[in-house]
A and B are shown apart, each in its own frame.
Chain A
Amino acid sequence: MRKPICIILVLLLTAPSLKADWPVGKRRTTLLPGYSFFYSDANYDRRWNRTKFPKGNSFVTHIYNFSLQHGIGRTTDIFMNIPYLSQRSLNKDSLRTAAGVGDLTIGIAQHFSSKDQHRHFTAKASFVVPMYQKDSITSLGYASRALGLEVNYSFSASAKAFAIIQAAYTQFLDEAEGPQQYTYTGTYGRKLNAFSMMTFSFMHQISYSPDKSFNPNLLANKSFINGRFSISYGRRITRTIMPMVSISTVLYGKNAGGGFGAGISLITRLP
């Protein structure tokens, strides 16, 4: 019988990503401190069926995230991301918790922009370093180093809108079973007025691995598929700071957790 599952989906689920992929700008920096949580009370099995947890069971994870992006040139940025995770799994009579620093991601992005700055093709390479020890029950991730490659195309979709089409590949390196993960994301953003905007984002993620076994800790689960949708709203409160709130939900999955999340972050552009 399947137990309630501790699920921590990727950070992107509720922690807003560094917005879009325009070059940050030479000598400019974007900081993105944020908090988000994800609440799960269901999971998707191998046949894509959604199953509610037994009454009283749940899983909650809190993510305190910090991202930074810095323009080292007009078209080249470096970036890093580090989360602090706190997870709480309530399973009938037992309560299991774990907390700690998750995966540190560092990387570089090269933008190829149209002359009018309306279209940007971006290539990214990143390296993931786990900041925790492996524990199959309460692990904060795969506890594996990883190499990430990503390409995306962002463009002004209309007078007040932009869109981003993104494909990413992540190869976890420390175990033969990987996994290899493919993530496809489409984002549509719309400016509401001079200071505020909304974004709508859909992400489809596939994780391949020879290891097809199911692990109740989905972070240790290497073979799964899921699709998520999120909506964000941001409004600038100063020239440089834009708080952004977001909500998200898992739409479908296979060997994946189901639930919803919410978050807030402060997009801070310096100077």
Chain B
Amino acid sequence: MMLKLKGLIKIAILFIIGSIGSTNLLAIHNSHKANALVVKDSLEIRILPLKKDGAFGKKNPVKYKATIRNRYKVEQEGSLEYIIRNEANLVVMRNMLDLKVAAGKTLESSFEIPFTKDGVYTIVFVVNMNNFNGELASIFSYRNTEQPSNAAKTNPYEYTSTIENLNAISSAEDIPQNMDHAEPVQPAEEEEVHEEGEIILSVKPKNADGVFTDGNNITYLVALQNKYKTKQEGTLNYFLKTDKGEIIGEKSIPIKISKMGELRLKIKIPPVTEAGVYGITVALNLTTYDDTTKYAFAYNINQIKTAFHVPSDFENFWERAKADLAAIPPDYKIILDEKKTTKFHKIYKVEMTSLEGVKIFGWLTIPRLPKKFPVIVGLQGYRVELDPLVYDSYVGFNLNTRGIEKNWKSFNPENIQPLLINIEDPEKFVYRGIYMDCVRAIDFLYSHADMGFDLDRVLVFGGSQGAALSLVTAALTGNRINTLIVDNAIFCDFHESYNLLSNELYNNFPIKHLVDYANENPPITIKNLLDNLSYYEVQNFMPMINCSVLYAVSLLDPLAPAATVFAAYNKLRASTKEKSEIYVAPNLGHEVTMDHRYYQLIWMSEKLVRKRRNIGK
């Protein structure tokens, strides 16, 4: 459906969404006039799903195309935020993209939304451009045509819901994200060509994972397809940036593409010598098309190192915390949930008392088969409440620490960022309790082996905060865990994250909240906060981990700066690294690929094969 301007309006802002399909166009809203067009001077905005019916799936990832035509005589700058809500109206994903359109130019950009969960969703686009604020909503559906999670169950030996479970735990965090400057714009492939045409840009590192070991030979393969019916001329500029955002190299390449033509380039990046994560900004300025996209690569990841900030009493601090926890009777209550229990799985709500007498709970799921099962523990992301973790071949135990909404009020009546609760005192900081909640969960398992737990085989996994909690739990529980699967661990190094703030990508959770807190609460300084957080930096726990780790890093992660995540990994003991693996996604933000999810399934299976030695020591 295309909306056109009439009357006195000089120039319209067109919000065109989901033009085909009755389910797709829901509403058009903006701050000035609901359900109608709002007129500003010369700005025309269209956002269309690349698949007209809004029905996406594995073969047709969620992609939209934004067309912003700026007829102003001045540059327009702002942001496009998208918010995806499920049928229960809960936010399941949100992200923000930068917009900048030069005067008289048109920005046409296809962007992929990394969303892969089956269902029907509402997507709201919020556009904020200089003097304009507006939003609109649309519906899209996503269905894995090959149904990976269920299909995986058809292996008669592996009746697991692994992929679903990994996704559920590792995604959908309620982390407030700011400007996601790094969101790569992925070109639409094999999609319809709109009348206006477009430029399909593909920028890929020569090494698929974006990791290079030869600083003199870092190469990108660039492919341009001109879908316009006119010749395109202009430049492709790229800027090489350090992780701090400093430009250390740039080049401008003249571009000429015939109508409907293609152009392939091989770009050799200026040599780099220092181990680290580097950004590449590619700006395409053509006759009728402008686009800026961001990429990243990592050089010599084994040598990415950051300083430890280990307080002198670090070990003692956590020994005391564990002693405090041990002094509190756990008061386990194992309650069969009749509603959730099925013919094939018993599902229990397990309540327990943790540090400071706080009640926490987890969901325990046990297949209704005799004998013992390996145990898989899921730890949650920031402010995420986990549901039962159901496997057919494993016991699942999803822990909800004190950080969830339902039991949050007593800690956080003013509903401030949980990260900031008691941050001024490391002894009272909320994460002292949260870390101990995880230890208590492991205590629970080890005190209830008779429920069918094969404690020779225990896996802990999580993404983001869940990854941080997994790593810390492994460090604080000795040799009680066989293996970890962690994605995009946050809290690795608050100090280094602060040092990277000059890169706008990282002006984000969690470090942004710390800076804001310090600014708003003098005489507290950011140094005070960072000193306090030294007790909680994940990197300080890394040398204490004995078990194998499958460790995912995304180079464009705005919440877990990749350099800090690499550096934390490099702080594992050599013997631990030997049995661990690192996976790098070059063009992703705070997420991992589905391919990695499948690899996690293999890892899970392999690492739970062998009994762990020296249990409990």
Chain A residues proximal to chain B, CB less than 8 Å:
19-20, 22, 25-28, 30, 74, 115-118, 156-162, 189, 191, 193-195, 197, 234, 236-239, 242, 267, 269, 271
In B354-405, the 8 Å CB interface with A consists of 367, 369-373, 392-393
In the bound complex, do residue B150 and residue A160 qualify as a contact, i.e. CB atoms below 8 Å apart?
yes
Contact of A159 among B147, B345, B602, B606 (CB under 8 A): B147
| Chain A residues within 8 Å of B151, by CB | 118, 156, 158-159, 162
Interface of A, secondary structure class, is: loop
Name which residue of chain B comes closest to A155, CB basis.
Answer: B151
| Chain B residues within 8 Å of A267, by CB | 156-157
Contact of A195 among B150, B159, B371, B594 (CB under 8 A): B159
Task: Give the docked Cα–Cα distance between A193 and B610 (Å).
Answer: 28
Task: Give the docked Cα–Cα distance between A27 and B609 (Å).
Answer: 7
In the bound complex, do residue A234 and residue B156 qualify as a contact, i.e. CB atoms below 8 Å apart?
yes
Question: B6 an interface residue at 8 Å Cβ cutoff?
Answer: no
The CB with the most chain B CB atoms within 10 A, among A118, A162, A193, A194, is that of A194
In the bound complex, do residue B156 and residue A20 qualify as a contact, i.e. CB atoms below 8 Å apart?
yes
Can you list, as one digit per residue, whether each of B560-604 has a CB less than 8 Å from chain A (1) or not (0)? Answer: 000000000000000000000000000000000011001101100
| Chain B residues within 8 Å of A236, by CB | 159, 369
| Chain B residues within 8 Å of A25, by CB | 602, 605-606, 609
Task: Give the docked Cα–Cα distance between A28 and B605 (Å).
Answer: 9
Are A115 and B369 also in contact (CB < 8 A) when A162-B154, A194-B159, A242-B156 are?
no
Task: Give the docked Cα–Cα distance between A234 and B601 (Å).
Answer: 24
In the bound complex, do residue B148 and residue A116 qualify as a contact, i.e. CB atoms below 8 Å apart?
yes
In the bound complex, do residue A74 and residue B602 qualify as a contact, i.e. CB atoms below 8 Å apart?
yes
In the bound complex, do residue A271 and residue B153 qualify as a contact, i.e. CB atoms below 8 Å apart?
no
Task: Give the docked Cα–Cα distance between A74 and B370 (Å).
Answer: 29
Contact of A238 among B154, B155, B371 (CB under 8 A): B371
In the bound complex, do residue A239 and residue B369 qualify as a contact, i.e. CB atoms below 8 Å apart?
yes
Question: B446 an interface residue at 8 Å Cβ cutoff?
Answer: no
Name which residue of chain B comes closest to A270, CB basis.
Answer: B609
Question: B99 an interface residue at 8 Å Cβ cutoff?
Answer: no
Closest CB of chain B to A197's CB: distance in Å? 6
In the bound complex, do residue B344 and residue A156 qualify as a contact, i.e. CB atoms below 8 Å apart?
no
In the bound complex, do residue A238 and residue B156 qualify as a contact, i.e. CB atoms below 8 Å apart?
no
In the bound complex, do residue B606 and residue A116 qualify as a contact, i.e. CB atoms below 8 Å apart?
no
Contact of A116 among B155, B159, B393, B595 (CB under 8 A): B595
Contact of A27 among B150, B601, B606 (CB under 8 A): B606
Task: Give the docked Cα–Cα distance between A193 and B392 (Å).
Answer: 10
- Sample 25 A-B pairs with CB under 8 A, ordered by A number: A20-B156, A22-B155, A22-B157, A22-B158, A25-B606, A26-B606, A28-B609, A74-B602, A115-B595, A116-B146, A116-B152, A116-B598, A117-B601, A118-B148, A156-B147, A156-B151, A159-B151, A191-B153, A193-B343, A194-B343, A194-B345, A238-B369, A238-B371, A242-B156, A267-B157
In the bound complex, do residue A160 and residue B154 qualify as a contact, i.e. CB atoms below 8 Å apart?
yes
What 9 A-B pairs have minimum CB-CB distances, sorted nearest first? Answer: A156-B151, A194-B344, A159-B150, A162-B154, A159-B147, A115-B595, A238-B371, A194-B392, A116-B598
Interface of B, secondary structure class, is: loop
Chain B residues proximal to chain A, CB less than 8 Å:
146-148, 150-159, 343-345, 367, 369-373, 392-393, 594-595, 598-599, 601-602, 605-606, 609-611
In the bound complex, do residue B152 and residue A238 qualify as a contact, i.e. CB atoms below 8 Å apart?
no
Task: Give the docked Cα–Cα distance between A38 and B133 (Å).
Answer: 78
| Chain B residues within 8 Å of A162, by CB | 151, 154-155
Task: Give the docked Cα–Cα distance between A236 and B153 (Å).
Answer: 14
| Chain B residues within 8 Å of A30, by CB | 157
Name which residue of chain A comes closest to B345, CB basis.
Answer: A194
Contact of B154 among A26, A74, A156 (CB under 8 A): A156
Task: Give the docked Cα–Cα distance between A118 and B155 (Å).
Answer: 9
Task: Give the docked Cα–Cα distance between A159 and B163 (Å).
Answer: 14
Task: Give the docked Cα–Cα distance between A234 and B151 (Å).
Answer: 18
Closest CB of chain B to A114's CB: distance in Å? 9
Are A117 and B343 also in contact (CB < 8 A) when A189-B154, A234-B156, A239-B393 are?
no
| Chain B residues within 8 Å of A115, by CB | 595, 598-599
In the bound complex, do residue B148 and residue A238 qualify as a contact, i.e. CB atoms below 8 Å apart?
no
In the bound complex, do residue B369 and residue A195 qualify as a contact, i.e. CB atoms below 8 Å apart?
yes
Task: Give the docked Cα–Cα distance between A119 and B200 (Å).
Answer: 31
In the bound complex, do residue A237 and residue B369 qualify as a contact, i.e. CB atoms below 8 Å apart?
yes
Closest CB of chain B to A71's CB: distance in Å? 9
Closest CB of chain A to B552's CB: distance in Å? 15
Task: Give the docked Cα–Cα distance between A268 and B393 (Å).
Answer: 13
Name which residue of chain B comes closest to A271, CB basis.
Answer: B609
Are A238 and B157 also in contact (CB < 8 A) when A117-B598, A117-B601, A159-B151 are?
no
In the bound complex, do residue A161 and residue B598 qualify as a contact, i.e. CB atoms below 8 Å apart?
no
The CB with the most chain B CB atoms within 10 A, among A161, A193, A271, is that of A271
Given contacts A159-B151, A162-B151, 4 further A-B contacts (CB under 8 A): A19-B157, A27-B606, A115-B598, A116-B152
In the bound complex, do residue A116 and residue B156 qualify as a contact, i.e. CB atoms below 8 Å apart?
no
| Chain A residues within 8 Å of B343, by CB | 193-194
Contact of A156 among B152, B371, B594, B609 (CB under 8 A): B152
Task: Give the docked Cα–Cα distance between A158 and B148 (Å).
Answer: 9
In the bound complex, do residue A191 and residue B594 qualify as a contact, i.e. CB atoms below 8 Å apart?
no
In the bound complex, do residue A116 and residue B594 qualify as a contact, i.e. CB atoms below 8 Å apart?
yes
Task: Give the docked Cα–Cα distance between A197 and B151 (Å).
Answer: 14
In the bound complex, do residue B156 and residue A117 qualify as a contact, i.e. CB atoms below 8 Å apart?
no
In the bound complex, do residue B344 and residue A193 qualify as a contact, i.e. CB atoms below 8 Å apart?
yes
Closest CB of chain A to B597's CB: distance in Å? 9
Task: Give the docked Cα–Cα distance between A193 and B159 (Å).
Answer: 10
